[in-house]
Amino acid sequence: MFENLSDKLNLIFKKVRGHGRLNESNVQDALKEIRLALLEADVNYKVVKDLINNIRDRAIGKEVLDSLTPGQQVIKIVNQELTGLMGGARQELLLTGRTPFVIMLVGLQGSGKTTTCGKLALHLRKQGRNPFLVPADIYRPAAIDQLKKLGAQLNIPVYSSDKELGPVDICINALSQAGRYSSDVMIIDTAGRLHIDEVLMNELVTIKEKVRPTEILFVADAMTGQDAVNVAGEFNRILDFTGIILTKMEGDARGGAALSIKAVTGKPLKFIGVGEKLDALEPFYPDRMASRILGMGDVLSLIEKAQEEFDQKEALILEKKLRKKKFDLEDFKKQLSQIKKLGPLEQILGMIPGMGQIKQLKNLKPDERELVKVEAIISSMTLKERANYKIIDGSRRKRIALGSGTNVQDVNRLLKNFAEMKKMMERITSKGFANLPGLFG
């Protein structure tokens, strides 16, 4: 299979160089690759067909003389086309008019609605709102319980739904109770259902009519395949939903469904879910999604994430220490926890172009346990030892190994790597210490 679309295209266009313009036949070869990339990413077959036609029209005749990398040019066109299709500026939730606002989540079974309700509630509270949750899934066993527990975790009120009343009345009653929670946003968790289940789809229509949601959000799994267009198309036809949330995006799915759903409904993608924790909800960015679908990594996200997570102040302090050659094991540990905050190593690797294909990644899986080990070892050291690793002699090493559940070799290796790293860092102090060479050596 293709390693990296960008490499492939560059190879194809090597021949083109010097020809001046992209012609029908060399564009054709490139389009074949792009088409496969899109299909592999689960973009709907029909959507791919139309996209490819658009791209062909735009690519043929393009000047390539001035560009040393015609492959990049075509990629740029593809990227623009995808980004454009996926929507312009990012869209927040629409909360205007009279309170309480009602947000209703809908979608297939297992798409992640309940968890997303919790995430949205947290997101809204961070924005100064006062949300409360309404469990309206009376069908799946323990679904109401699940939302109650999420509410308790977040300390956000959950309406005590009476299953006997049925989803419609639950929602109507809940709305009349919003005042009791002094709440301005009510979030409804509906049961998962098939788009072809007439009875249950009608139930949603009734709820919509009765509680008039300002947002009806269609929740879809990022791993969805070709059927995404049928499901989203029906949900939108019946409910005219207002936005889309794509869940389980932290995995290795390329997420072509995003494009399919957007294409068939024209509705904006508002958020993506990136983990099981309740703060794992992120805004959706069309350009990043485009690169991801093309299998070209998500460098922008990575950069932003790094900026977000790396505490600037901390970094300055560390840098100073480094200048004064005072970087010690305690600082090292802090650095590690910063790296860990970035997310699972694999996820980070996945965001780097060319690393996205799990196939190649298989043999060089970063060992997360190694990180944990290093942290455990340092945690088992006394503060004195952390400040000056040179005092860590044989008996101290034994004690540390015992305390951290590792063995002396592990401790030796860590200390050796740390010493090497320190030396190296001190040589490049002017550049700060963005890289931690030899860490896992």
Partner 1 sequence: MFGFRNKSIEKGEEPAEQKTGFFSRLKQGLKKTREGFTGRLDRLFLGKKEIDAELLDELEEILFTSDLGVEASKELIELIREGVERKNLDNPAQLKAALKEKIIEFLTIVEPEVREPKPGEPLVVMMIGVNGVGKTTTIGKVAALYKNEGKKVMLAAGDTFRAAAAEQLAIWGERVGADVIRQNEGADPSAVVYDAVSAAVGRQIDVLLIDTAGRLHTKVNLMEELSKIYRVADKKLPGAPHQIWLVLDATTGQNAISQAEIFHKILGLNGLILTKLDGTAKGGIVVGISRQLGIPIKYIGVGEKLDDLRPFNAKDFAEAIFSE
Ligand X SMILES: Nc1nc2c(ncn2[C@@H]2O[C@H](COP(=O)(O)OP(=O)(O)OP(=O)(O)O)[C@@H](O)[C@H]2O)c(=O)[nH]1
Q: Which is nearer to partner 1, 369 or 427 (CB)?
A: 369
Residue 291 partner contact from partner 1, ligand X, none using kind-dependent CB cut-offs of 5 to 8 Å: none
Interatomic CA distance for residues 230 and 228, integer angstroms: 6
- Work out how close the CB of 92 gets to partner 1 at its nearest, in angstroms, rounded to a whole number: 23
Residues 6+ apart with CB under 8 A from 198: none
Query: How many Å is the maximal CA-CA distance in the chain?
Result: 74
Among 10, 26, 44, 301, the residue binding partner 1 under the rule CB under 8 A is 44
Contact 183, 147 (CB under 8 A): no
Residues 6+ apart with CB under 8 A from 316: none
Q: Which is nearer to partner 1, 128 or 141 (CB)?
A: 141
Among 140, 180, 277, 341, the residue binding ligand X under the rule CB under 6 A is 140
- Work out how close the CB of 23 gets to partner 1 at its nearest, in angstroms, rounded to a whole number: 22
Closest alpha carbon to 435 in 352, 335, 314: 335
- Work out how close the CB of 274 gets to ligand X at its nearest, in angstroms, rounded to a whole number: 16
Interatomic CA distance for residues 289 and 78, integer angstroms: 12
How does strand 131-136 pair with strand 215-221? unpaired
Q: Considering the rule CB under 8 A, would residue 364 count as an interface residue with partner 1? A: no
Q: Judge if the upstream peptide bond of residue 100 is cis by omega within 30 degrees of 0.
A: yes
Site for ligand X in 95-124 (CB under 6 A): 109-110
- The DSSP code for 267 is P
Q: What does the per-residue mask of binding to partner 1 show for 240-279, with x meaning CB under 8 A?
A: x-------x-xxxxx-xx-----xxxx---------x---
SS3 285: coil
Output the six-digit token pair for 133: 């949750």
- Work out how close the CB of 328 gets to partner 1 at its nearest, in angstroms, rounded to a whole number: 28
- Work out how close the CB of 109 gets to ligand X at its nearest, in angstroms, rounded to a whole number: 3
Q: Which is nearer to ligand X, 140 or 324 (CB)?
A: 140
Interatomic CA distance for residues 298 and 303, integer angstroms: 9
Chain-centroid distance of CA 268 in Å reads 17
Site for ligand X in 182-221 (CB under 6 A): 192, 194
Q: Which is nearer to partner 1, 194 or 317 (CB)?
A: 194
Residue 252 partner contact from partner 1, ligand X, none using kind-dependent CB cut-offs of 5 to 8 Å: partner 1
Angle at 86 between CA 85 and CA 87, to 5 degrees: 95
Residue whose CB is nearest to ligand X in the complex, by number: 109
The pairs formed by 411-417 with CB atoms below 8 angstroms and a separation of 24 or more are 411/377, 414/374, 414/377, 414/378, 415/389, 417/441
Interatomic CA distance for residues 293 and 266, integer angstroms: 18
Residue 231 partner contact from partner 1, ligand X, none using kind-dependent CB cut-offs of 5 to 8 Å: partner 1
Among 54, 130, 173, 429, the residue binding partner 1 under the rule CB under 8 A is 54
Q: Considering the rule CB under 8 A, would residue 237 count as an interface residue with partner 1? A: yes
Q: Which is nearer to partner 1, 45 or 440 (CB)?
A: 45
Among 4, 10, 111, 404, the residue binding partner 1 under the rule CB under 8 A is 111
Where on the chain is the footprint of ligand X (CB under 6 A)? 109-110, 140, 192, 194
